[in-house]
Structure 1
Amino acid sequence: MNQPCTLPGGTAQAGPASHAPYLPPVPRPPHDPLTLVLNGRLGWQALPGKPPAVPAATIGPLGECGALALLPLPGSGRTLWEASGSFGGLALPRHLALASLGPCQQALLLFDARGRRLLRFDPCACAFTDTFCLRPQDPRLPAGPATLAARCGRLYLADPAARRVVVLNAATGAARGVWRAPLATPPCDAGSRLDDWQPAALAVAPNGDIWVGDRMHGLLLRFAASGCVLERHDGFGAVAALAATCDGRLLVAAEGAEAVVCYDPATRRRLDPPQRPADLAGAFAPLPLTVHADGSVDLSALCSPPCAAPCVFDPSGTLLEDPPDAPPDAWPATGTWHSQALDSGISDCVWDRIVLGASLPAHTRLAIDVLTAETALQPADLFDSGDWQPALALHPEPDGTTAFDGVDYMLRARPGRFLWLRLRLDGNGTATPSLACLAIDFPRISWRRYLPAIFGAEPVSAEFTDRWLALFDRQFRDIESRIDGQARLFDPLSAPAGGRQDFLGFLAGWLGLGSGLSALPLARQRAFIRHAARAFAWRGTPRGLTHTLYLFLGLQRWCGYSADAAACVPCATAIPERFRWRPPRLLLEHYILRRWLFLGFGRLSDNARLWGERIVNRSRLGAGAPPAAMPGCPLPASAGGDDCEPCVGATHAGRHGAARPDKSADESARIGVTQLKTAQDPWRDPFHVYAHKLSVFVPAACVREPALARALAQLLKADVPAHVQATLVPVAPRFRIGVQAMLGLDAVIGYRAAPVTLDAMKLGRATVLGGTDRDGGARALRVGTRRVGMDTTMQ
């Protein structure tokens, strides 16, 4: 007889005892395999060290995407050590400087050492012109080669021959100062004194300080903008070129040195020396011009309008007829690369397949070998091991470059927890194969588990069954992966854009935005589509149109903007929140411009006016304005009912009752002034003119580009109601009273800066002299009314 038993949950029930809660779960294979991805962004996990027989590493990340390729031979192509001091095109050559003359104005300056001239690039003429009042023998100009740098409207010229640094005004060429050899440098001791120096290199730090390279003593000196020495760094040799990265590091090129030094002034450490300019491309801000290896520059992008053909100028500012050829790259014939141990975390793991994306020029080759083991091996054991098994070998077409994108190969390696990869790249000397991405799937999950066990009774038949079923399994997994990643297609921030899989444009079509968004940058397109649906509830209203224009113009992200303190001008006073920058209104409804007189509320002034037929220039036959009905004047009844019309005649009663001729009848119609209107509704002319009109103020740059202008016109056509007449008004960066000076729409009044404080500011740009106190105090210093020493006391 069965007795009731007590289960672990504490519930008593009748029936046989069950031990299922105490048993371990039944192991089930995973539905999808895991994937390990190697690329330039996630890292290649290269094995440290190299085989003993190889003199140097020949394979490494190359280019912006970090693809694995053969490294160029030393001395070939663009190098960091170039005679022009541009560090492979990352910085401007030493004879050029890009100076900022205002918020939206820059000037490209060039010093011609042969002609001893200081030139400025003219975008309209697309040539260098002599705009400074400096003679060729002016003592302010260096007598030989010099290095230029610019910061905050100042131009610095390092003159090694005269052993000085000249500071000029970048706009006028006026002298602002001369830096001689600093007698004392930090730390101020007996050994820090410099009786002489030879400044040969300049660089501008991100915080505005100036780095000067002393060729004579091998020093790097950091100067403030006022000319004070702040730091001193020794041991760099004969400094020839200097450049500062965006994060404050320095690149130092010295004469006779084999490599460029990467130096961190904050920690006083020398970092690993970079090999190629591509290794430091992300550390420098992009230049608006192209720098060639010989120091010549292509300024076609700076011309106004931009030139389609290259406009290359040599170091003397002369236009070259033929652009110089870039130095060719030379590649090694072969190279080998080993990966670190790739840990699956699964004992006796069967590694499934390799999926790769590669590009192979003609007459090149890519081969991959694999090695598996249950325990981690030492690098020496990997190099000498004979257990490497070939995984794949790629050969391109005889002519042209062959792309292998998403090609997968099943691995035939032994089971093991760890996996190592060995890549062999073979080039033809003029090109290199490149591996952009490599993905490894593990463990092997085959459809064989659904078949009878006889299909996997022994290893050979099991492998054949797995490889045969993989032909179908791969197709179904591709469909499943698309379904798994389908959610990203409906998110504007992750939807693919451009090409055959342009799902972002498909989302824009769902929202009725059309194809006009293609003229916007990709980031602004995604933000516009993401937030456009929120304005559907406000569509047809000024709020909805303003929100849509903010998204189109990219002003939405500036709604909570707070400007930082400027480095070139004195700091402004603490700006209250109500005076901070806000996005402009952009919309002006014309009914706001009415200046009519209302009975009981109006007042005669510039803000009030009477209205009549001149609003629409209407012509009326017989009288200029409809007179009011006079006492005793018969009013004929209309045929439609009791409505009546006032008398209209050639004469009407005057002020004292006497009849006089109506002169307005002769002045009503004028050729070229008035118009014959067919609409019989003159009493509501002001409402017909002002009630349905709208002005949209946008930056002039949106209208200047044809693609953006068409996109903006399509946007207004779709969002402005049909009964509203919208006029697009481009706003240029200027202030014209009476023409373009509507505050809040196309004109802004800046907030007043802090007054000048003694011993804290210098009179110059953006300095304001203080007036009287707000409370009218008598002790305030006011220019023109106070005399220093007579009725004013300095404290």
Structure 2
Amino acid sequence: MTCGPQPATFRLLDAYVGWDETPAGTEPGTGGVTGFDDPEGIRLAHAGDPEGPARSRLLPWFPDPRLAPGCGTRPWYLLVPEERLLLRSGPCGGAFAPVWPPPCDPDRLRAPVSVAARGHLLAVVDSDRVLVWDGGGARLTGVVRARGARLAALGSGGEVLVACRGGTDLRRYDPAGGFRGLLRTGVRGEILGLRTGPGRTVWLLTGDGARLRVHRGGYGVPFREAGPEELAGALRPSALTAADEDGFCRLEDTPDGPATRCHTWRGLPRATPPRPAGTHLTDGSYVTALVDSGISRCRWHRVRVDADVPPGTSVSVSLVVTEDGRYEDGDWQAAAPGAADFLVDQPPGRYLRLRLRLTGDGAATPVVRRVRLDFPRSTSADLLPPAFRQDPAADDFTERFLSLFDAALAELDRVVERYPALLDADGVPDRVLPWLAGLMGLSFESGWDARTRRALLAAAPGLYRRRGTPWALREAVRIVFGAVPVVEERTRERRWAWLGAGAGAGPAGAVLPAGTVVAEAGPGAAGLGTVRLFGRSASRFRVGGSALGAAPLRAFGDPDADPLTAHAHRFRVLLPAGAADPAALRRLVERQAPAHTAGSVRTGGAGFVVGSRSVVGVDTAFVPLPPPVLGGADTPRLGHDAVLRPGPAGARRGVGVPFACAVGVHTRVP
């Protein structure tokens, strides 16, 4: 009796659902595979270190303690402990020579164990002390007394970090040798490598006999385990390419281009380079536990393997189906070499066991991200009349034959089902964002990160609905540059007879002849005739209204429309200093502004911006004005030449504006 017709389902084997690996030792020949908790997938273990990175992989950042690689054109330093010598490479690479010639100071070093260099500073751990030199060994600047010292690193400001035997805490010293305190790391194992990085970060390489670990921490920052990828992204690797017990190799710049040169640990040229060690194991296997379908006599249908198989590697799959958990060695079904999608050709059974074998050349490893098991068998043959399925052999062939077409149609159905997900800006990969933006008529700049692009795509419907408005422009600038701008419409700066509010001045918003605008009525406002409607040179010449020579002659348009056309369709975008690149902001404003408008941008500036038209110098402060004196030869005009202020009993201090401050943009007047 088979499982009968019922909806098909599947079981995933991955880091999220679980790989259901067999307990260690229960299946012979298994092992050499790691990464069961890694979302990237399972892979061959590193050679000599099943759970952590290989020592050869970390060599460019944590070299042998006897070697201190230089950065750029700086020399390399090589310590020869048995001869108590410190060697230095020549300019542009080349051979090694003693830092101090033997006749000069043969007893400078006693029992050196490690060397470190940073910039022009040089440190050598030597017999419970650390010697620090400036100028690459030209001048001894300090002697650090540290019992059991074995490793040293030079930090920012010349600080010396020392790792001692039997402990994982780092001792801190100033360049002269003064003790500054301890840096608690809390790591386990023995410190094998010590590095300092940008931002006062500290990197440690530790080993506990079973695996290597890389840790990252710093001053006031707890240490945590980090991966090789994070190490490579934070620290620049050295030119060290290989090392063994006989010497090392490094990449050097030569007149003919980069070339690899090898040296012994005594600094002599080496003819034969070190044999490159394999990064990964060459063979590994993994067997699952019995995967339970929950269906008696279930006909398992299909196996799909999602894997990356680089050249020189392979992944082979085999499986067995059983009803009671018992099977023989000859019951295993092996998939065709390289097959990643195949049908299960096994008798019905409730349980399935899968075996993966990974092989490689040592330099690369296959990565298996996911395995999918489909059950029970469900094909389009179920839709055929029973007459086509009477012969068991023909029925099995028909099912397997139709499975080819079912698989192709299922892929098409899956694309159709997942198509709406392609329009989800938060769910698609980063590389799909430009394509999605093209569908929506958006264009991205190369400097925008994925977070900014996703935010623009999510806000696109709202931006399109209100495109061409100040709100849409402000929102676009906020998303891209992370700062809310001030959008000033230049029409508000018209100086055309804007009267104060007053009783009897007319209804609010009424337009009087010659472009005069009357505001909302209120007490104490000026009436017509008490203010100058047009400046002497602000309007064109008007017969009977302008003095000859005092106003410009303009022979186009209606003069009554001048107050309405001044600064029309013009705006300005203001941002604080340093908030955005002016060129990038200008390009964004041009794309978001309506076609009939002309916009300008301003990001901070060298001076202080008061309002929108007055600029105060950098070294200027607001101070009290002199007392206004009415009468006399130079009588001030109220509102033009003088400001009423408190009397002698009142405050007389001015308003100070700090440096690079824009009033109305950076500040707020309470």
Taking a change above 3 Å as real, the CA distance of residues 360 and 702 of structure 1, as seen in their structure-2 partners, is same
Distance 1:36 1:52 in 2: 22
Taking a change above 3 Å as real, the CA distance of residues 470 and 538 of structure 1, as seen in their structure-2 partners, is same
Distance 1:157 1:234 in 2: 27
Structure 1 unmatched ranges of 5 or more: 1-26, 99-106, 118-126, 129-136, 170-174, 182-195, 266-273, 301-308, 316-323, 396-403, 556-582, 603-609, 616-624, 629-642, 650-663, 669-675, 743-795
2:572 corresponds to: 694
Distance 1:414 1:506 in 2: 47
Q: Secondary structure at the match of 2:349?
A: coil
Q: Secondary structure at the match of 1:356?
A: strand
Taking a change above 3 Å as real, the CA distance of residues 727 and 41 of structure 1, as seen in their structure-2 partners, is farther
Taking a change above 3 Å as real, the CA distance of residues 469 and 313 of structure 1, as seen in their structure-2 partners, is same
Taking a change above 3 Å as real, the CA distance of residues 519 and 242 of structure 1, as seen in their structure-2 partners, is closer
1:490 corresponds to: 423
1:641-656 correspondence runs (5 A): 646=546, 648=548
**1:35 lines up with 2:10 in the alignment:** yes
2:32 corresponds to: 58
2:352 corresponds to: 419
Q: Secondary structure at the match of 1:438?
A: strand
Cα displacement (A) at 1:252: 1.6
**1:220 lines up with 2:174 in the alignment:** no
Distance 1:627 1:475 in 2: 81
Taking a change above 3 Å as real, the CA distance of residues 214 and 148 of structure 1, as seen in their structure-2 partners, is farther
**1:444 lines up with 2:444 in the alignment:** no
**1:513 lines up with 2:442 in the alignment:** yes
Distance 1:477 1:415 in 2: 24
Q: 2:287, 2:354 within 8 Å by CA — same for their partners in 1?
A: yes
Q: 1:247, 1:283 within 8 Å by CA — same for their partners in 2?
A: no
Distance 1:693 1:234 in 2: 59
Taking a change above 3 Å as real, the CA distance of residues 362 and 687 of structure 1, as seen in their structure-2 partners, is closer
2:319 corresponds to: 370
**1:289 lines up with 2:239 in the alignment:** no
- What do residues 336-386 of structure 1 show as CA deviations (whole Å, max 9, x unaligned)? 3322332323222221111223455667654311012234x5xxx88xx41
Cα displacement (A) at 1:442: 1.4
Taking a change above 3 Å as real, the CA distance of residues 97 and 360 of structure 1, as seen in their structure-2 partners, is closer
Structure 2 unmatched ranges of 5 or more: 80-84, 87-91, 94-103, 135-139, 174-178, 218-224, 243-247, 264-272, 501-524, 527-533, 613-670
Q: Amino acid of the residue matched to residue 717 of structure 1?
A: E
Distance 1:299 1:545 in 2: 53
Q: Secondary structure at the match of 1:220?
A: coil
- What do residues 69-104 of structure 1 show as CA deviations (whole Å, max 9, x unaligned)? 44454499x96436xxx9345679989899xxxxxx
Match of 1:472 among 391, 398, 405: 405
Normalised by the length of structure 1, the TM-score is 0.50
Match of 2:332 among 368, 382, 389: 389
Distance 2:152 2:23 in 1: 37
Cα displacement (A) at 1:242: 4.0
Q: Secondary structure at the match of 1:228?
A: strand
Q: Secondary structure at the match of 1:479?
A: helix
2:596 corresponds to: 723
Distance 2:373 2:420 in 1: 24
Q: 2:474, 2:484 within 8 Å by CA — same for their partners in 1?
A: no
**1:354 lines up with 2:298 in the alignment:** no
Q: 1:391, 1:411 within 8 Å by CA — same for their partners in 2?
A: no
Whichever structure has more strand as a proportion of its residues is: 2
Distance 1:258 1:344 in 2: 38
Match of 1:341 among 290, 305, 308: 290
- What do residues 488-545 of structure 1 show as CA deviations (whole Å, max 9, x unaligned)? 22322124564xxx4x44543454324x366533332222111222234433222221
1:653 corresponds to: none
- What do residues 724-770 of structure 1 show as CA deviations (whole Å, max 9, x unaligned)? 21224467xxx73359999xxxxxxxxxxxxxxxxxxxxxxxxxxxx
Cα displacement (A) at 1:335: 3.9
1:763-782 correspondence runs (5 A): none
1:534 corresponds to: 462
1:33-112 correspondence runs (5 A): 33-39=8-14, 44-49=19-24, 54=29, 57-61=31-35, 66-71=40-45, 73-74=47-48, 80-81=54-55, 87-88=58-59
- What do residues 233-277 of structure 1 show as CA deviations (whole Å, max 9, x unaligned)? 89956x4424799999964259xx685367999xxxxxxxx9xxx
Distance 1:288 1:337 in 2: 35
- What do residues 188-212 of structure 1 show as CA deviations (whole Å, max 9, x unaligned)? xxxxxxxx331514699xxxx9985
Distance 1:612 1:50 in 2: 101
Normalised by the length of structure 2, the TM-score is 0.58
- What do residues 747-794 of structure 1 show as CA deviations (whole Å, max 9, x unaligned)? xxxxxxxxxxxxxxxxxxxxxxxxxxxxxxxxxxxxxxxxxxxxxxxx
**1:241 lines up with 2:193 in the alignment:** yes
1:454-465 correspondence runs (5 A): 454-457=387-390, 459-465=392-398
Q: Amino acid of the residue matched to residue 228 of structure 2?
A: A
Q: Secondary structure at the match of 1:393?
A: coil
1:108-187 correspondence runs (5 A): 113=77, 145-147=114-116, 160-161=125-126, 163=128, 180-181=145-146
Q: 2:320, 2:331 within 8 Å by CA — same for their partners in 1?
A: yes
Distance 1:627 1:264 in 2: 76
1:546 corresponds to: 474
Distance 1:313 1:737 in 2: 57
**1:585 lines up with 2:485 in the alignment:** yes
Cα displacement (A) at 1:473: 2.2
1:565 corresponds to: none
Q: 1:223, 1:229 within 8 Å by CA — same for their partners in 2?
A: yes
Taking a change above 3 Å as real, the CA distance of residues 425 and 108 of structure 1, as seen in their structure-2 partners, is closer
Taking a change above 3 Å as real, the CA distance of residues 612 and 724 of structure 1, as seen in their structure-2 partners, is farther
Q: 1:354, 1:438 within 8 Å by CA — same for their partners in 2?
A: yes
Distance 1:700 1:248 in 2: 31
**What is the aligned-residue identity percentage?**
22
Q: Amino acid of the residue matched to residue 252 of structure 1?
A: T
Q: 2:214, 2:228 within 8 Å by CA — same for their partners in 1?
A: no
Taking a change above 3 Å as real, the CA distance of residues 362 and 487 of structure 1, as seen in their structure-2 partners, is closer
1:301-312 correspondence runs (5 A): none
Distance 1:539 1:465 in 2: 59
2:512 corresponds to: none
Alignment root-mean-square deviation, CA = 6.3
Q: 2:285, 2:356 within 8 Å by CA — same for their partners in 1?
A: yes
1:24 corresponds to: none
